[in-house]
Amino acid sequence: MTSSEIALSLPGTDQQRATLVQCSNCHSLAFALQKRRDRQGWIQMIEKMRGITPSGVMQPAEAMPGILQRSKEENEQLAEFLAAVRGPDS
């Protein structure tokens, strides 16, 4: 399955799925969704991934607070969605 097909197969809104598909700029969604995580686990993973560019280069440590602040709301919404569809009890 392609990342788009995986996203379309998940419950949720178009916006939730569109945000998730952005993860496939760096890796497949099949890879990203292999493990189940709770909300906090997803937050940690999302924040870690925000620190890596699509070409695999780590963002400088001093840039991370700004990156995470700008993406905070989207990160939280994505973590809620992922915990619902790929959480420990989903």
**Distance, CA of 87 to CA of 64 (rounded, Å):** 26
35-68 pLDDT, tens per residue? Answer: 999 999 999 999 999 999 989 999 999 999 999 9
Question: What pLDDT does 37 receive?
Answer: 98
Please identify which residue in the block is written with the tokens 């952005």.
Answer: 22
pLDDT average, residue stretch 66-86? 97
Please identify which residue in the block is written with the tokens 């990160």.
Answer: 75
Contact 89, 82 (CB under 8 A): no
**Distance, CA of 36 to CA of 84 (rounded, Å):** 10
**Distance, CA of 60 to CA of 87 (rounded, Å):** 30
> Looking at the whole model, is its pTM more than 0.85?
yes
Contacts (Cβ under 8 Å, ≥6 apart) of 18: 7
